[in-house]
Amino acid sequence: MKETQNQADRYVVIGNPVAHSRSPAIHAAFARQTGEAVQYDRLLAPLDGFADTVRQFFAEGGYGCNVTTPFKLEAYDMSDRLTDRAEAAGAVNTMWIEDGLIHGDNTDGIGLVRDIQDNLDTLLEGRRILLLGAGGAAMGAMLPLIECRPDRIVVANRTAARASDMLEAFAEAGNQYNVELWGGGLDALEGLSEDEACDVVINASASSLQGEVPPVPGFLLGPDVLAYDMMYGAVPTVFLAYAAQCGARTSDGLGMLVEQAAEAFYNWRGVRPKTAPVLAELRAALEAEARAGN
């Protein structure tokens, strides 16, 4: 964690591609708001050169970095110290130097939880959650979701075996927090009854990137349900459009993006920025992009 200095300390988001990243705008807003001396840029790493890029950045005086696609697993491997949530996720999206060591964290899941509970005013304790997908995004979300003490988390994935492996990996945490964990293939959703419907449905799969609607029965997306997609854009994802047609309350993952960035900023600076004004600014920018595209 870096203490406040007068000169600007360097931070970057590393990815490939990375030109589309909104992280520089988010962290610039955090820096203005908190008075922290932060310079934040994008850094493109070769697909076969992530570790070298990170080492060079730190050797040249960089203090910390965010990590995006496709390097989160490599970031995990090269971190000397991992937070519990990074270890549970098996991936790192936030790195910094402390005591000469590379520290790695995964702030995606806590960003999701804070967006749902704080920004969307939906407490997760005692609720039933349906999590679509069992890849990296879902893995990053599981421990923070379990720590909210919901009644149940159902994991549904295209490949049932992958869902089973994920549930096994988090079985101990589920027992610790008294959370029921179960799931399987996406086809198993058809066998659920209305009594087994969930309060929150989170799409952590790649379906929105592929323009596909996950096969979620309409009765699981009624008016009392929050349908949340980790993806975001100028227009609603196909999953959110489908959920809205079914009557669900909907939200994209823009708030998750801002909240995970705020947690990274806290790791680096020891200061927690206010996210509401930054989220409102980004939402307005997205809406302007949508209007410009029409």
Q: List active site positions.
A: 72
Rounded to whole angstroms, the Cα distance separating 10 from 97 reads 12
Which residues touch 195 (CB under 8 Å, ≥6 apart)? none
Give the helix/strand (H/E) hosting 38: strand 38-44
Contact status, residue 79 vs residue 92, Cβ threshold 8 Å: yes
Of 37, 41, 39, nearest to 14 (Cα)? Answer: 41
Of 160, 245, 141, nearest to 202 (Cα)? Answer: 141
Where is the binding site for shikimate, in residues?
Answer: 21-23, 68, 93, 108, 232, 260
Contact status, residue 278 vs residue 26, Cβ threshold 8 Å: yes
* Bridge pairing between strands 152-157 and 128-132: parallel
Burial label for 22, CB within 10 Å (0-12, 13-18, 19+), is middle
Amino acid letter at 260?
A: Q
Where is the binding site for NADP(+), in residues?
Answer: 84, 133-137, 157-162, 230, 253
Which residues touch 60 (CB under 8 Å, ≥6 apart)? none
